[in-house]
Amino acid sequence: MFANTISVTIGADSARVLTRVNQDNFGSTYRLATATEFTELVVRNSTEKFGGLLYDRHNAELRSTVYAAADGSAPEKHYVASTTFRTRRSGGDPTRLADVTKALGTVLSSTLVAGMVQGES
């Protein structure tokens, strides 16, 4: 089980400390609400069938909401980043899955994400 708090840093902002508010059915939800924004991390684990085979599936979703300005000068803004990774239940190697997932995170953050958010492919 993960800790009751998780730190998340978005861009150049200071780290936000999210507190677990729910933990059940193989998932956890962490949240932080301030006067100006709401940040939420949802982690889920499940099992699914694909092509007649059983897979372990893992999801993480980070949501960031910046509230509208009180004077109406700026609208509320919503941002979401998510990932899913899976391996076969029988014969899958969790260490290799972790390595592949970390490699994807590295290539996204170092090479692709800036272009992807501009519509490049």
Residue 82 binned pLDDT confidence (cut-offs 50, 70, 90):
very high
Per residue in 57-68, pLDDT tens? 999 999 999 999
Residue 16 has pLDDT above 80, yes or no: yes
Three-state SS for 26?
coil
Say what the pTM is.
Answer: 0.87
Q: How far is CA 25 from CA 1, 37, 56, 104, 113, in A?
A: 12, 28, 14, 27, 32
Residue 109 binned pLDDT confidence (cut-offs 50, 70, 90):
confident
| Element of type H or E holding 98 | helix 94-107
Q: What is the pLDDT of residue 17?
A: 97
Over residues 97-117, mean pLDDT: 90
Residue 46 binned pLDDT confidence (cut-offs 50, 70, 90):
very high
Q: What is the pLDDT of residue 7?
A: 96
**CATH entry 3.40.47.10 includes domain 5-90:** no
Query: In the beta sheet, which residues pair with residue 42?
Result: 29, 61
